[in-house]
Every structure is written in structure tokens, then in C-alpha cells.
Structure 1
């Protein structure tokens, strides 16, 4: 798996990679359209460490950061809470110290100027000044559902300006092969024609 992830990481700089990954998954896998980068141009890729919060309690977010390995993406399920932030400057600095690759939050983020200045990729469904409060509740590395998409620990998260896509862990190797093939076919097609009939996607 480590080799497969490394080969996927080699595609990290590819523009609009999330679109190709979704295509490779049968035009699926994307989290809801409400997920947007906190700062333009943010992109991330890495295996998920999942967090399920309790109410507005953000204790499990810090627990997740502490449990996450370098290169991981924290995926936070807030059960639709958007009036309190589960991410900000403190979590960003803690995540950077751990070498995390980014965060995906089905909920709010704050301190967006600091997050942008620190260059940490965060995708969220809301931005609010209100902070969550610690209370010692929540869970780490459990199944979650964010943006209508199930996410399990170890699933591969891919995000850019188009949104966020989740690749189930069991499908990572096959999806990588499909993505590589699609990218090559796209390069060949776009270099050879601008004919609208030829550029039309195939029906499935």
C-alpha cells in the first residue's frame, strides 16, 4: 500500500486531479458541493484519519491530530454543525507540527487568514468566528459520513479547487491505474483535436 500511495502522490501536482479521480470511480466519490477550500489553490492528498465530534465539542479534533501520522488528512464529521468552528489557527499549527497533509471538515473553520498564511490545506462547509469548546467527548478513527459520502480510516482523500473526493481503501490501487490511464488518454486527445464531437464524453 505504501508504494501505491507514493505513486498516487506523484500525481499530486496534476491540475484538477479530483475530477480525474472521480471519473476513475465511475463519476462518483465526491463529497457534497458545499465543501470548498478555505483559501484558493489549496489541494491535499492523503489517507484519512477520521474524527466524529459531539455537539460543538472539538476535543476529538485534537485527539485526532495527536493520533495522525505524517501525510494524513483529518476528516471531521460535525453532524452538520456549522455555527461553531472545529478548525482554526491552533489546530493548524498542531497539525503542521505533526506533518499532516490537510483537513476536511463537514462543518466550520475560523482563523482563515492564519490558515492561509500558514499554507495549510483546509476544506470545509462553513466559515464562522465562533469557536467550538473542549468537553472531552467524541471519537477518532471510526466510520463517518461527510457530505453524504461514507469515509473510513485509511480511505484516500483527494481535494483541490473542484472539491473533495474519497477513494475507498480497497479501491486505491485500481483507481490509481484508472487515473493514470485517463490522464494519458486526456493528454493525447487534447493535443490532437478541438473538434467538439470528439471532445464529447463517452456515454455509459
Structure 2
């Protein structure tokens, strides 16, 4: 039996090398990427970890704090706020709470605020918008349910990976197979780059761009 933690450690090592989201998308046959509007709140942010999902209702922040409280260390909070951009679902308070829990980052189909504080605290956040407006808790929403973020379905336990290129999601059942395919593609690509700089030979053949 393959150790899931070993797979995560292997992915983490690859994340440090750069452009891992591109490699994963290639391994998933050019799929898995969230929409291009999901961008890092601060430059060079990157994250990797299993998803803890949150579905908000209106401008209610309650489920976000509930999700932080339920999330184990190393996980990524994935917030489906239905693309709402006029009210923020993340800021300095959520960042400090998430850091205290040991979370690896947050991905939001919606807005973030307190950007300077989030950057200063070094917490990776990827969102679709920035706004000063904040939501208020009202006791509504859901945690650890299937959500849709950036046009991609995300289930609790799916692997979230984000870097300068964007965000990709790897279904939980495909994590180990995707890692093996990423390693295979990287090995083949490195051998190709070492062998040639010919445009004809570097033209993609279905495996990489």
C-alpha cells in the first residue's frame, strides 16, 4: 500500500522546483486547472495540501471560520462563495486563525481583503478578486461538502496545488497515479531538453507544451 503522506511529500518537493501546476495539468491530460481568474493575492505565493471545502451563503462568513476550525494542519481551505466579488471571505483575522491551525493556504472563488497583512504574514491565498468589504457571520453555509471553484469540482480530500501559473485540483483517487505520471513526464522532458534545442524536436506531441 502506498503511503499518502509520502505522495504529498514528493509533490511538495516538486512544488519547490517550480511550475508544478503545469506538470500536473499535463499529467491530467491538460485538465484540472481552475479558471484563470483565480490568482495569488501576493506574488510568488504557492500552496499544496488536501482540500477542506466550504460553501458560503450570501455574504455569510460563518462557514469559513467553521472550516478553519475543522481543518487539520497541512490542509487547504477551498471556499466556494459562488463567485461573489463585492464582499470578502478572507482577510487578516481568517489568516491568523488559519496560521494557528497550521493550514497550508486558501483558495477562494470570491474576494479577499487585508492584502498587506496577508502578504506580511506569508499565508498563501488565491482568489478571484480583492475588495475592502467584509462579510458578517450569520450561522449559514456548509463545510466538507462538494463544491465548485474556478469552474472545477472539488471534493474534501482532493489535492490542491497552486503556484505562479494558477491552481490545479487532483481528485483524491488519482493522487498517486498523477504523481507517477508527473515524475515520468518530467524525466522525459529533462532528457529531451538535454538532448536538443531544435524547435522541430521540441514541438509538443501530446505530453507537454
TM-score, normalised on structure 2?
Answer: 0.95
The partner residue of 1:142 within 122, 125, 145 is: 145
Deviation at 1:182, TM superposition (A): 1.2
The partner residue of 1:67 within 67, 70, 73 is: 70
2:80 counterpart residue number: 77
Deviates more, 1:15-24 or 1:185-194: 185-194
Deviation at 1:187, TM superposition (A): 1.6
1-side partners of 2:188 and 2:122: how far apart? Answer: 33
1-side partners of 2:145 and 2:206: how far apart? Answer: 37
TM-score, normalised on structure 1?
Answer: 0.97
Aligned residue pairs: how many? 204
2:9 counterpart residue number: 6
Deviation at 1:183, TM superposition (A): 1.3
* SS across alignment from 1:47: strand
1:40 counterpart residue number: 43
Deviation at 1:51, TM superposition (A): 0.2
Q: Which runs of 4+ in 1 moved over 6 A?
A: none
Q: Is residue 172 of structure 1 aligned with residue 161 of structure 2?
A: no
2:114 counterpart residue number: 111
Q: Is residue 24 of structure 1 aligned with residue 30 of structure 2?
A: no
The runs of 5 or more residues in structure 2 that have no matched partner are none
* SS across alignment from 1:85: coil
Q: Is residue 99 of structure 1 aligned with residue 102 of structure 2?
A: yes
Deviation at 1:4, TM superposition (A): 2.0
Deviation at 1:123, TM superposition (A): 0.2
2-side partners of 1:203 and 1:59: how far apart? Answer: 44
